[in-house]
Amino acid sequence: MQDVFVKIWTKIEYYDSEKACLYTWMRRIAENTSIDYLRGGINNRSNRTNDNKDSIKNIPHCTEQKTEKIGLNQLIDKLPESHKFIICMVYYGGYTFKEIAEIMGIPLGTVKTRSRSALTSLRKEFA
């Protein structure tokens, strides 16, 4: 939060009221700062849990988080292996759909479709 306020303070001369209102301009700075933080620190490639094509063997390890309290691990285990792999890579490994498509050697659209299908299944099971 402090980084956002510092950026707003130091970049105020770049604000143009003809392009956007002040709130929108400040919100955009906050969004960009948070994206920069996520891409640069937390989800840095060196910090990712799975980094090879044999990652599907490590799927049980990627779900060892505090999700067992709500039974999410059991729901993920019910998914087909390809769907489970994508969910783990996206939500636990921090990979993008494009990176997963390259790792799995399948089209980007297939990864997105499987992800959407997996999330739909998880929503139905969780409800």
> Could you tell me the residue ranges of all domains in the chain?
2-42, 46-126
Count Cα neighbours of 67 within 13 Å in the Cβ-side half-sphere: 16
* Percent of the chain at pLDDT exceeding 90: 9
DSSP code for 112? H
How many angstroms separate the Cα of 91 from the Cα of each of 12, 25, 43, 65, 84?
36, 29, 11, 11, 11
The pLDDT, as a whole number, for residue 94 is 84
**pTM exceeds cut of 0.75:** no
Specify whether domain 46-126 bears CATH 2.140.10.10. Answer: no
Could you report the per-residue pLDDT of 62-109, keeping only the tens digit for each?
A: 544 555 556 677 778 888 888 888 888 888 788 889 988 988 899 999
The two tokens of residue 55 are 């990652």
How many angstroms separate the Cα of 110 from the Cα of each of 17, 27, 32, 83, 96?
43, 33, 29, 10, 13
Selection from 31, 30, 33 nearest residue 41 by Cα:
33
Q: Average model confidence (pLDDT) for the chain?
A: 77
Band of residue 21 on the pLDDT scale cut at 50, 70, 90 = confident
Q: Rounded to an integer, what distance in angstroms lies between the CA atom of residue 122 and that of residue 53?
A: 25
Candidate from 38-42, 92-96, 108-112 with smallest mean pLDDT = 38-42
Band of residue 53 on the pLDDT scale cut at 50, 70, 90 = very low
